[in-house]
Amino acid sequence: MKLYYYPGACSMAVHIALREAGIPFDLDKVDLAKHQAANGEDYYKINPKGYVPALRLDDGQVLTEDAVLLQYVADQKPASGLAPKAGTIERYRVMEWLNFISSELHKTLGALFNPKITPEWKDNQVALFGRRCDFLVQQLGGKPYLTGDKFTIADAYLFTILGWANFFKLDMSKWPALTDYAGRIAARPTVKEAMKAEGLIK
């Protein structure tokens, strides 16, 4: 497999999942400004959507979209426990989280990357993110991970998006439970490996 990524982007969630699952893979850093893969190939020919992540499978097919790639990775190694068995209510709970993170957190903070964002629009997005953080703290309720005591692909995704709050220098002091949560995940060996490989930490 080959993961097309950009450092610290949402693709890092899939990067973490691949390492957690113990699946061999190659990394290809995408120049998003030039839309080029590491070898100079036009990235639009790999993923016509133009953004990361994209995962090239061993048979040459390319899959995209975080929530899909995360489940695909987890299903390649069921024993990893990264996602519950398909068809169970536990699996649907993880899917519920993946969709929430994608639509309510990823898209909310993702808007801040827009260089043309107005102050009013930015304030609205930050306020919405704050309300979502209130919800997250309530749902965690002291649990170490989103669905309980076990790390899942939903945690890989949430950790990645929460990292954007630091990038945008948002004040997270109101939600110490989320700071603790992110710190707990950041301490995982596979997460450290992924961040180091992406050049985010030394």
- Greatest pairwise CA separation for the chain in angstroms: 47
Average pLDDT (76-104) is 97
Which single residue is written with the structure tokens 């024993």?
79
DSSP character for 41? -
43-72 as b/e, with b when 16 or more CB fall inside 10 Å? beebbeeebbbbbbeeeeeebbbbbebbbb
For the chain, what percent of residues have pLDDT higher than 90? 100
Q: How far apart are CA 19 and CA 147, in angstroms?
A: 20
Average pLDDT (185-194) is 98
β-bridge partners, 115 = none
What pLDDT sits at residue 60?
96
What pLDDT sits at residue 19?
98
Average pLDDT (62-85) is 98
**CA-angle at 79, arms to 76 and 83, nearest 5°:** 70
Average pLDDT (83-87) is 97
Band (101; pLDDT cuts 50, 70, 90): very high
**Helix residue ranges, H only, the chain:** 11-21, 43-46, 66-76, 89-100, 107-110, 119-140, 153-167, 176-186, 189-197
DSSP character for 32? T
Average pLDDT (156-167) is 97
Task: Please give the model's pTM, rounded to 2 decimal places.
Answer: 0.97
Q: How far apart are CA 128 and CA 71, in angstroms?
A: 27
Band (90; pLDDT cuts 50, 70, 90): very high
Q: How far apart are CA 164 and CA 65, in angstroms?
A: 18
